Structure 1
Amino acid sequence: MEYLRFCLLVSCWMKLGSSILSANAPQTPAVIPKDKLLVLTVATEETDGFHRFMQTAHYFNYTVKVLGMGEPWKGGDVGRSIGGGQKVRLLKSTMEILADQEDLVILFVDSYDLIFAGGPEEILRKFLQANHKVVFAADGLIWPDKRLTDKYPSVRSGKRFLNSGGIIGYAPYINRIVSQWNLHDNDDDQLFYTKIYLDPSQRETLNMSLDHKCQIFQNLNGAVDEVLLKFGTDRVRVRNTMYDSLPVVVHGNGNTKIYLNYLGNYVPNAWNYEHGCGHCDDDFLDLSQLQEYPNVLVGVFIEQPTPFLPEFFQRLLALDYPKDKLKLFVHNNEVYHEKHIQRFWEENRNVFNSFKVVGPEENLSQGEARNMGMDLCRKDASCDYYFSIDSDVMLTNRQTVKLLIEQNRKIIGPLVARHSKLWSNFWGALSLDGYYARSEDYVDIVQRKRVGVWNIPFMAHVYLIKGSVLRNELKERNYFVLEKLDPDMALCRNAREMTSHREKDSPSPESFHMLRPPKGVFMYLTNRHDFGRLISTASYNISHYNNDLWQIFENPVDWKEKYIHQNYTQIFTENYLEEPCPDVFWFPVFSEKACDEIVEEMEHYGSWSGGKHEDTRIAGGYETVPTDDIHMKQIGFDKEWLHFIREFISPVTLKVFSGYYTKAYAVMNFVVKYTPGRQAYLRPHHDSSTFTINIALNNKNADFLGGGCRFHRYNCSIESPRKGWSFMHPGRLTHLHEGLPTTNGTRYIAVSFIDP
């Protein structure tokens, strides 16, 4: 019984002591008003990263005070070695003023590589739940002194090491920490905070902790695989899958800047499925409101044999932009293309404000040529924009230059991709060694399932750069030459990792000395419009007379645009074909250019058969009804011609001979030449085919007189063939026919005996 009384008495004493302690201890409020949160950050320059940081801060209505703006950065190369002490010095000076505000919560964060994903109310609630006076961001990797690993308190779950990129705490406590700073600006800020945190007495006295499970701070270095995007109706969050948390502050520390850029394309309201692009029209430049259009230098680069180059130049000429505001710089590295450039120059040299051509005789490398083009704008104070375009870009949107200027970004390119392929002019991510890696959203962007303006790590082929950027941020480097990288990769890496100074005594790229944190220029890609496509140049053979004819496989869209009659599709939409004789159908198929180039190709080959019966080109060596011809196989065009039949003749066959499904196979494919002096006509005959096509390759009355075709069974003649139009008629039994005499000039036709 005495023992029970003793226990009861001890319990009462403990309760009394506890109530006395609770009464004397400072009470933690249930809620901290959001006006009691002040965000402090250090930024000595307004970089693209800083503007993104401020954009996310304004979205959530944070109160932000920027420290050090306009000061020289003396904090060392914080991206590659120790440094950052200048941030502590600036924070120390500010906290001396704020130290007596006991209810003020300070959030001190980096700015160049950091975005907000949540608002002040959320961060204050999570800070209260942490139940500490100061909370640092946590990291899974220790920096800068690995020897301190064992001194860290062990944690059962979560990240163990301190990261100084994010600190939240009450003002007096933050002040007590930073007031201990007595080092230099280029000493390491993280090491300073680490040593204080690892001191058990200070850790307890200052009531410090780490955000072990990323409730508030998410550092991406070493943790990229832990995070994913969580799409909501109005905004997008970053979710940590390891701790099932939604961090409020996302920090792209270490080598994760590119991944932060990817996240920043969505978080918090840059893009979502509900509303699409949230910032596409920010800082929009309305050209219609300007008194005059900006001056643009167009740099054209022809670095390898390129199909459809004359068409490329015509698209350039067709751009809807005042030509007196365009200066043209062309670098051509291929002798083969000199004839194309000469022709374009002769016809248009007075169209543009200026026209400069640098040819293969200069023997410039790609990097040197691209530097030259960029320098022309950099050194010309009147150059407002530099528009670089490679010859493998087919711009189908005449508004491209205007649309890019109106987006008002420092560097921006239009999306162009190969037809029906995922090969495009940008990368959404980089591998660890700096080469291509596919981002999660790459396919959706290329296929325009996600439409917007995207911050990307690499672009090539076509882009627009502000002239002011070339004369300021991008003024001090040989941007297209870096280590062993190709010119495009060199430009993009230099822009991403750009700093403001190079050691004058060390010209090598490895010797860049960072006098301030990296202030990389963001590169953007827009897919808000359909701008055009990339053409394939890899297998372009220039051994023929008209080489583009062979591009039907590699570049089918451009081949069709150049060589198929403009009214061909109307055959199916508007029944645009004729039946001049029973079961003889007449329809447009070839463009004038196709007809001319096929004829030129045959005449360049020159070995016409002469219309003899003996013919070693065919099985048996004997032709019953010979023509003066050249076979497609002789010029190496047989595969391409059969593909043309499959793609453009077979659909017409199905339309006019309902129920018949052609194999689209032909052994005899040839061009016939009729002249009064060699072979003027062809006697009546049946073709060795199920059906035959006969395409007129030149104009009656202009190139020849006479000619035509007569079908005996129906006593029906067609005496006025149209250039580029084809006859299609049955080959056996019913359609005995003859070639009518050509009385003057030369007549050319292309013939195929299909399904023999």
Structure 2
Amino acid sequence: MEYLKFCFVFSCWLKFANSVSSTETPQAPAPIPKEKLLVLTVATEETDGFHRFMKSASYFNYTVKVLGMGEAWKGGDVGRSIGGGQKVRLLKEAMEALADQEDLVVLSVDSYDLIFAGGPEEILRKFQQANHKVLFAAEGLIWPDKRLADKYPSIRSGKRYLNSGGIIGYAPYINRVVSQWNLHDNDDDQLFYTKIYLDPLQRETLNMTLDHKCQIFQNLNGAVDEVLLKFGTGRVRVRNTVYDSLPVVVHGNGNTKMYLNYLANYVPNAWTYENGCSLCDDDIVDLSQLKEYPNVLVGVFIEQPTPFLPEFFQRLLTLDYPKDKLNLFIHNNEVYHEKHIQKFWEENRNVFGSFKVVGPEENLSQGEARNMGMDLCRKDATCGYYFSMDSDVMLTNRQTLKLLIEQNRKIIGPLVTRHSKLWSNFWGALSLDGYYARSEDYVDIVQRKRVGVWNIPYMAHVYLVKGSVLRNELKERNYFVLEKLDPDMAFCRNSREMTSHREKDSPSPESFHMLRPPKGVFMYITNRHDFGRLISTANYNISHYNNDLWQIFENPVDWKEKYIHPNYTRIFTENHMEEPCPDVFWFPVFSEKACDEIVGEMEHYGSWSGGRHEDKRISGGYETVPTDDIHMKQIGFDKEWLHFIREFISPVTLKVFSGYYTKGYAVMNFVVKYTPERQAYLRPHHDSSTFTINIALNNKDRDFEGGGCRFHRYNCSISSPRKGWSFMHPGRLTHLHEGLPTTNGTRYIAVSFIDP
């Protein structure tokens, strides 16, 4: 009975409590319509950062009013020192007309270094949840007066200090704040707002607070480690991992502008896993619609001995662009390369619109030479673009120049990388001291797992600059010289920052010390296409006669393209080989260039053995079947030759001698010279090898007559060797053979006794 009574009383109390609760719970305020949000920003010039800000605002359909456009900037260098008061003055003037609109919410933000990551509805909802009339952005670092730190209200958690880059509030309250401004344009805006906020009476009467946990504003200065990209369906967000928030406004204040550039490569919709690059085709130039192609000055810089330079020039010639629209400027700092440039000039001086060469006799530094090249375009009003190329760039894409122009960026470079390495022509991030740091996406960009057009802090080797930019934003003429930086780093830093120029519109000499706001030119790298590669110059030895022959280790792709027969791969795809005698296989392996350079190297060395039996070069000092030859070891080419055997001969061996896996090792590797005057033939013999290769290095009936090889066991002769083709046959037991007489001229062959 007592239990039933208790249940009845409890149920009555519960009903009463619920009824009280339902009557006392306040109704949630109606959402603020997005039409009631006005974004005010200050921008005196249309910089790259400003255009990016406006694109992000347009993506979310913000209503933006720009203050101060075209006005001279007198607010100081806000990126490096105090200043920015001009922003408050402009905001004060704008708010006078908005002060009586009580339901209007005003969002005041910077523009050069800020992007939106969310839309108006989200920002208004979060502002309502804050339940204050004015909300400032917050950060963990105090600026500009550290002595004010103790005056800030204590908080349990979050960021304690005010940042003036983001303010949101109802119009009448924002007006009451900025109407107090009576200072100069170059006074500090953040100090002004800080003093108002730190006044307890004003903080209470104006109902102000800070966005302590980055619900709306994310200032990156001092907080880079807190921030990650959050990839979601269709849109990328910035996530603060400390407060588990998704800020709507991302501000690259202080020295974090490059990190903001990285974030803006993705946020809000620049690149996603689902759709890739969504902005890459925005504002592109359609070259097919132009009446004529723009003039391009190509600056070529040869600053150190560079392998494959003639091939570099040939690739330049094959660019798919009208040659009369290309003007060539070459700076060569290496006497060794003068012969290559002279040959190129003699053959092509009338191909280009103009052709200027500055040689080592001018004794220019790299920075001076690069300034000179860029200045030639800057001073020529008809120069549409400046295309800078270092000699270690191998552009394999003939469309490179057109593709770069079409992207319509002020500065853009094609991604080029070292073969099979992560070394490229750009950096994804910089360390605190301004040198290389690996960005989170660097490897994916280099390996083209993420394809797009990327805002980056550093580039080198090859890039395109608009001529109009050289005559405006980059009109200064010493961009490649800065402190102790190398020329490329100096150029990139000067282009990124651009805060050290006098304001030409300043009304008086006294104001010349006032610096522009940060308005650097964005630099981009594109990996939308496969453009080419960088070759290694680090270990290039120019003490040989044909130095590129030794590049098989450092630059294997370029070595193969130059020295391996163009039909070599057909051996495996189309069985492109012949069998003129039993187990004697004949296939293409060397290009004409390889044959000529190997012969040239041997003749340059000149110490032919003379075909004598006594031979100190071999073990025992006696050669049973001597030839008139030079060993690869004598010219220092033994390691390279053995590598050639393993890379290009061993695969053929496995194809023709199925089941036999060669070690690719040979003690005897040499070039033989047959002439009627010295040694015309070779008597029948077996080779000291498991199998032998014999590569013809020159042309029958043009360079010599006669020659060939006869295999006795099969009474089979091959009398028409082809230049660059190799015989491969067993060495011991079965293939007794002889060298047929050379009756006229000189015949050269390269021989290896493999797996002795």
**For the superposition of Structure 1 and Structure 2, which TM-score range results when normalised by the shorter chain?**
over 0.9
- The SS at the match of 1:98 is coil
Q: 1:701 to 1:8 in 2, by over 3 A?
A: closer
Cα shift readout 1:634-681 (whole Å, capped 9, x = no counterpart): 000000000000000000000000000000000000000000000000
Unaligned runs of at least 5 residues, structure 1: none
Task: Check whether the contact 1:501–1:512 (CA below 8 A) recurs between aligned residues.
Answer: no
Matches of 2:510 and 2:10 in 1, distance apart? Answer: 72
C-alpha displacement of 1:518? 1.4
Matches of 1:582 and 1:10 in 2, distance apart? Answer: 107
C-alpha displacement of 1:492? 0.1
Q: 1:440 to 1:512 in 2, by over 3 A?
A: farther
Q: 1:174 to 1:748 in 2, by over 3 A?
A: same
Q: 1:662 to 1:16 in 2, by over 3 A?
A: closer
Q: 1:543 to 1:111 in 2, by over 3 A?
A: same
Shifted more, 77-86 versus 739-748: the winner is: 77-86
Q: 1:605 to 1:302 in 2, by over 3 A?
A: same
Task: Check whether the contact 1:698–1:723 (CA below 8 A) recurs between aligned residues.
Answer: yes
Q: 1:16 to 1:154 in 2, by over 3 A?
A: farther
Task: Check whether the contact 1:499–1:514 (CA below 8 A) recurs between aligned residues.
Answer: no
Cα shift readout 1:712-738 (whole Å, capped 9, x = no counterpart): 000000000000000000000000000
Cα shift readout 1:506-541 (whole Å, capped 9, x = no counterpart): 999999955220110000000000000000000000
Cα shift readout 1:260-311 (whole Å, capped 9, x = no counterpart): 0000000000001000001101110000010100000000000000000000
Q: 1:681 to 1:17 in 2, by over 3 A?
A: closer
Q: 1:547 to 1:6 in 2, by over 3 A?
A: closer
Q: 1:6 to 1:449 in 2, by over 3 A?
A: closer
C-alpha displacement of 1:12? 21
C-alpha displacement of 1:340? 0.2
Q: 1:506 to 1:588 in 2, by over 3 A?
A: farther
Q: 1:255 to 1:507 in 2, by over 3 A?
A: farther
TM-score relative to the length of structure 2 = 0.96
Task: Check whether the contact 2:705–2:744 (CA below 8 A) recurs between aligned residues.
Answer: yes
C-alpha displacement of 1:682? 0.1
Shifted more, 511-520 versus 344-353: the winner is: 511-520
- The SS at the match of 2:413 is strand
Q: Please state if 1:404 is matched with 2:401.
A: no
Matches of 2:275 and 2:697 in 1, distance apart? Answer: 53
Task: Check whether the contact 2:42–2:87 (CA below 8 A) recurs between aligned residues.
Answer: yes
TM-score relative to the length of structure 1 = 0.96
Cα shift readout 1:359-415 (whole Å, capped 9, x = no counterpart): 000000000000000000000000000000000000000000000000000000000
- The SS at the match of 2:237 is strand
Task: Check whether the contact 2:116–2:249 (CA below 8 A) recurs between aligned residues.
Answer: yes
Task: Check whether the contact 1:60–1:120 (CA below 8 A) recurs between aligned residues.
Answer: yes
Matches of 1:124 and 1:416 in 2, distance apart? Answer: 45
C-alpha displacement of 1:8? 24
Task: Check whether the contact 1:628–1:679 (CA below 8 A) recurs between aligned residues.
Answer: yes
C-alpha displacement of 1:29? 3.1
Task: Check whether the contact 1:501–1:513 (CA below 8 A) recurs between aligned residues.
Answer: no
Matches of 1:480 and 1:312 in 2, distance apart? Answer: 24
Task: Check whether the contact 2:74–2:511 (CA below 8 A) recurs between aligned residues.
Answer: no
Q: 1:691 to 1:12 in 2, by over 3 A?
A: closer
Task: Check whether the contact 1:294–1:384 (CA below 8 A) recurs between aligned residues.
Answer: yes
C-alpha displacement of 1:10? 25
User: What RMSD in Å do the two structures reach over aligned CA positions?
Assistant: 4.3
Matches of 2:248 and 2:466 in 1, distance apart? Answer: 34
Task: Check whether the contact 1:44–1:69 (CA below 8 A) recurs between aligned residues.
Answer: yes
- The SS at the match of 1:314 is helix
Task: Check whether the contact 2:72–2:505 (CA below 8 A) recurs between aligned residues.
Answer: no
Q: Give 1:516-595 correspondences, 5 Å limit.
A: 516-595=516-595
Q: 1:641 to 1:25 in 2, by over 3 A?
A: closer
Task: Check whether the contact 1:482–1:509 (CA below 8 A) recurs between aligned residues.
Answer: no
Matches of 1:68 and 1:675 in 2, distance apart? Answer: 86
Matches of 2:541 and 2:310 in 1, distance apart? Answer: 16
Q: 1:618 to 1:202 in 2, by over 3 A?
A: same
Q: 1:695 to 1:315 in 2, by over 3 A?
A: same
Matches of 1:19 and 1:655 in 2, distance apart? Answer: 90
Cα shift readout 1:184-218 (whole Å, capped 9, x = no counterpart): 11111000100110011111111100000000000
Q: 1:73 to 1:696 in 2, by over 3 A?
A: same
Task: Check whether the contact 2:333–2:360 (CA below 8 A) recurs between aligned residues.
Answer: yes
Q: 1:509 to 1:353 in 2, by over 3 A?
A: farther
Q: 1:24 to 1:667 in 2, by over 3 A?
A: closer
Q: 1:40 to 1:243 in 2, by over 3 A?
A: same
Q: Please state if 1:429 is matched with 2:418.
A: no
Task: Check whether the contact 1:483–1:509 (CA below 8 A) recurs between aligned residues.
Answer: no
- The SS at the match of 1:744 is strand
Cα shift readout 1:535-568 (whole Å, capped 9, x = no counterpart): 0000000000000000000000000000000000
Q: Which residue of 2 aligns with 1:355?
A: 355
Q: Which residue of 2 aligns with 1:465?
A: 465
Q: 1:714 to 1:2 in 2, by over 3 A?
A: closer
- The SS at the match of 2:383 is coil
C-alpha displacement of 1:477? 3.9
Shifted more, 17-26 versus 290-299: the winner is: 17-26
Shifted more, 698-707 versus 468-477: the winner is: 468-477
Cα shift readout 1:458-485 (whole Å, capped 9, x = no counterpart): 0000000000000000002400000000
Task: Check whether the contact 2:138–2:217 (CA below 8 A) recurs between aligned residues.
Answer: yes
Q: 1:18 to 1:252 in 2, by over 3 A?
A: farther
- The SS at the match of 2:97 is helix
C-alpha displacement of 1:2? 29
Matches of 1:358 and 1:423 in 2, distance apart? Answer: 29
Shifted more, 383-392 versus 512-521: the winner is: 512-521
Q: 1:14 to 1:168 in 2, by over 3 A?
A: farther
Cα shift readout 1:193-248 (whole Å, capped 9, x = no counterpart): 00110011111111100000000000000000000000111110000000000000
Q: 1:22 to 1:36 in 2, by over 3 A?
A: farther
Matches of 1:307 and 1:143 in 2, distance apart? Answer: 53
Cα shift readout 1:581-625 (whole Å, capped 9, x = no counterpart): 000000000000000000000000000000000000000000000
- The SS at the match of 2:115 is strand
Matches of 2:507 and 2:560 in 1, distance apart? Answer: 50
Matches of 1:505 and 1:287 in 2, distance apart? Answer: 36
Matches of 1:70 and 1:653 in 2, distance apart? Answer: 74
Aligned pairs, number:
756
Q: 1:534 to 1:613 in 2, by over 3 A?
A: same
Task: Check whether the contact 2:710–2:716 (CA below 8 A) recurs between aligned residues.
Answer: yes
Unaligned runs of at least 5 residues, structure 2: none
Q: 1:751 to 1:11 in 2, by over 3 A?
A: closer
Q: Which residue of 2 aligns with 1:245?
A: 245
Q: Which runs of structure 1 show a deviation greater than 4 angstroms over 4 or more consecutive aligned residues?
A: 1-28, 502-514
Q: 1:204 to 1:20 in 2, by over 3 A?
A: farther
- The SS at the match of 1:384 is strand
Cα shift readout 1:54-112 (whole Å, capped 9, x = no counterpart): 00000000000000000000111111111100000000011110000000000000000
Matches of 2:158 and 2:276 in 1, distance apart? Answer: 35
Matches of 1:171 and 1:667 in 2, distance apart? Answer: 89
Matches of 1:5 and 1:584 in 2, distance apart? Answer: 111
Shifted more, 677-686 versus 498-507: the winner is: 498-507
Task: Check whether the contact 2:76–2:83 (CA below 8 A) recurs between aligned residues.
Answer: yes
Task: Check whether the contact 1:568–1:589 (CA below 8 A) recurs between aligned residues.
Answer: yes
C-alpha displacement of 1:499? 3.0
Task: Check whether the contact 1:500–1:514 (CA below 8 A) recurs between aligned residues.
Answer: no
Q: Please state if 1:708 is matched with 2:702.
A: no
Task: Check whether the contact 1:384–1:467 (CA below 8 A) recurs between aligned residues.
Answer: yes
Matches of 1:226 and 1:462 in 2, distance apart? Answer: 35
- The SS at the match of 2:624 is coil
Matches of 2:590 and 2:206 in 1, distance apart? Answer: 83
Q: 1:708 to 1:36 in 2, by over 3 A?
A: same
